Amino acid sequence: MAAKIFIDGEHGTTGLQIRTRMAGRRDVELLSIPEAERRNAAMREDLLNSADIAILCLPDEASREAVSMLSGNNKVRVIDTSTAFRVDSSWAYGFAEMDKAQAEKIKSARHVANPGCYPTGAIALIRPLRAAGILPDGYPVTVNAVSGYTGGGKQLIAQMENLHHPDAIKANNFLYGLPLKHKHVPEMKVHGLLDRAPLFAPSVGRFPQGMIVQVPLFLEDLKNGFTRESIHRTLVEHYAGQDIVEIVSLEESKTLARVDAEELVGQDTMKLFVFGTPGGEHVNLVALLDNLGKGASGAAVQNMDLMLSA
């Protein structure tokens, strides 16, 4: 029997991408609400409570409202794509490759918080080094990133694609989050196992999809004289046995003149690089992903599939 899936917020960017990924699947039945009725609370509540899995593609407060609509005695399971529950310990964090046991946690969970796109890249780079004791307590972690403009939703898409829009953005690249209080920082700190909030500097480029996340490191400030090679080996060991996160070899990395933010567009995978001169003082860790793939809709479908496999 096909599992009933309701995407609450299916007409937004993330929701539409999730629908596209499930097109033609026979193992799921999509429950849908007409766009004109998307604010019909009674209809939403009925569909939410009729689903096997509800995927929430909503702003934070609307997600909290949707969860409150669920009857206490039903068995509806939830994947939330907002930031509302990402640091809530009662919700499973939906980055299956983050640790060896994380996929099983997602598989058995009733509530799963889908990761943010920027944090997915940052946590993928930082967490293994913290778990291995390479990044010491108090290390001043910096995360620099650029995303395709679809990560900002319909409003930013309209501003970037329509130069006649009253609030059109004409810049090819712009930095934002200038007060350094971005909503993704708590998520990076908690799931990156950091004891100190990272400094996060996000930016947006004039390309629809794609993302590069960078974490630069001073080797002399790490524990026990770790090198570029030992950091790379730690990442390889951490992600062994799965096929979503690829650790690009040091040999291949040495041949690269640049990294293209759009390389993985349309894919639900991620690549991690360790750049730097062997024996040098600096290393630059880089994560490459599609902000709507492994960074959003693709991750939500992956989490759904894990939950359905329980």
Q: Give the percent of the chain with pLDDT over 70.
A: 100
Residue 233, pLDDT > 70, answer yes
**pTM of the predicted model as reported, rounded to 2 decimal places:** 0.95
| Model confidence band, residue 181 (pLDDT cutoffs 50, 70, 90) | confident
**What CATH number corresponds to the domain at position 204?**
3.30.360.10
Sort 203 into a burial class: Cβ within 10 Å, 0-12 / 13-18 / 19+: middle
Domain containing residue 41: CATH number: 3.40.50.720
Residue 73 has pLDDT above 70, yes or no: no
Domain identity same for 53 and 81: yes
Residue 108 confidence (pLDDT) above 80: yes
Q: How much is the pLDDT for 225?
A: 81
104 and 153 assigned to the same domain: no
Known catalytic residue at 57: no
Q: For the stretch 8-42, what's the b/e string if a residue is b when 16 or more beta carbons lie within 10 angstroms of its beta carbon?
A: bbbebbbbbbbbebbeeeeebbbbebeeeeeeeee
Helix and strand totals (H; E) in the chain: 10, 13
**Taking 80 as the threshold, does the pLDDT of residue 72 lie above it?**
no
- What's the domain range around 235? 117-292
Judging by DSSP bridges, how do beta strands 199-205 and 173-175 pair with one another?
antiparallel
- The per-residue pLDDT of the chain, averaged, comes to 94
Q: Does one domain contain both 157 and 92?
A: no
Write out 42-54 in H/E/C secondary structure: HHHHHHHHHCCEE
Here the tokens at position 15 are 């929701």
205 in the same domain as 243:
yes
22 with 167, same domain? Answer: no
Helix (H) or strand (E) run with residue 120 in it: helix 117-131
| Closest by CA position to 60, among listed 17, 105, 113, 21 | 113
For 232-274, give the DSSP string.
HHHHHHHTTT-SSEEE--HHHHHH-S---TTTTTT-S-EEEEE
The pair of three-digit structure tokens given for residue 190, joined into one six-digit string? 């908690």
Statement to judge: residues 190 and 259 lie in one domain: yes
Nearest-angstrom CA–CA distance, 222 and 224:
7
Going across the sheet that includes 77-80, the strands are 28-31, 3-8, 53-56, 77-80, 111-113, 92-93
Please give the average per-residue pLDDT across 16-29, as a whole number: 92
Quick: pLDDT tens for 142-180.
Answer: 999 999 999 999 999 999 999 999 999 999 999 999 998
> How far apart (Å, rounded) are the C-alpha atoms in residues 61 and 58?
8
186 and 246 assigned to the same domain: yes
Q: Both 111 and 121 in a single domain?
A: no
Structure tokens at 99: 């640790």
Q: Does one domain contain both 131 and 265? A: yes
71 confidence band (pLDDT: 50, 70, 90)? confident
- Give the whole-angstrom CA distance, residue 54 versus residue 65: 13
Q: Which of these is catalytic: 67, 76, 106, 117?
A: 117
Same domain for 286 and 146, yes or no, is yes
Structurally, the chain folds into a number of domains equal to: 2
The better pLDDT of the pair 166, 278 is held by 166
Contact status, residue 7 vs residue 114, Cβ threshold 8 Å: no
Query: Are residue 76 and residue 129 in the same domain, yes or no?
Result: no
Token pair in block for residue 82? 């907002």
- Do 27 and 308 contact (CB within 8 A), yes or no? yes
Judge if 132 and 89 occupy the same domain: no
What confidence category does residue 36 fall into, taking pLDDT thresholds of 50, 70 and 90? confident
